[in-house]
Structure 1
């Protein structure tokens, strides 16, 4: 049982770190490379999440302004539901083992999902 939990934690960490590092800024990768504690990794994720959250908010405002009629309300509803889903999904991802790695997995989840949603909203409007 404990081996299974450790293996799952290692897999989640590897996937979370890979996804986060692959699509985020070089500053995040440098920060994570230098991070040697859980607190440092959390700090890296928090810093990049701020960047991606700002990007998401800008993309959302632009996308919302571009919508007409019922699509505007649909986007409002979808975004509210997406926030609830992201928060619940990442709380789940961040509770697998009860250990400190859960915090890293949870914050990595928020970062990854925020970045992905920002891209979706940017693509909704186009260049």
Structure 2
């Protein structure tokens, strides 16, 4: 059972970390030099801040482009998305009870924030 949990955690970490790291040179460089769990969480946190700023810009642009009921609908969707992201990543960040959960949870927030930023950008085009 423990081997299965460790293997699953390792797989999850590699999938979470590598999916975004492959597209983000700054994250890859930071993760390559990370020596501890805290270092990896810090790498994710730094890049999450960058992606959160991107998300906020995209949201402001997207909300300004909406009319009438669609503006309120987008506000509602965004609030629900934040709740979902936070709950989903809390779940992902509690899979094993080990320190790797911190990396998985912070990586989840990073990945989901980047994805949502892209979705919002796509609402209004390039």
TM-score of Structure 1 vs Structure 2, range by shorter chain? over 0.9
User: 3-state DSSP class of the match of 1:97?
Assistant: coil
**Aligned match of 1:14:** 14
**Aligned match of 2:3:** 3
Cα drift, residue 3 of structure 1: 1.1
**Aligned match of 2:109:** 110
TM-score, scaled relative to structure 2:
0.98
Cα drift, residue 36 of structure 1: 1.3
TM-score, scaled relative to structure 1:
0.97
CA RMSD of aligned residues (A): 0.7
Q: Deviations over 1:82-123 (max 9, x none)?
A: 000000000000000000000000000000000000000000
**Aligned match of 1:71:** 70
Aligned length: 126
Cα drift, residue 4 of structure 1: 1.1
User: 3-state DSSP class of the match of 1:117?
Assistant: helix
User: 3-state DSSP class of the match of 1:23?
Assistant: coil
Cα drift, residue 20 of structure 1: 2.1
Cα drift, residue 78 of structure 1: 0.2
Segments ≥4 residues shifted beyond 3 Å: none
Cα drift, residue 81 of structure 1: 0.2
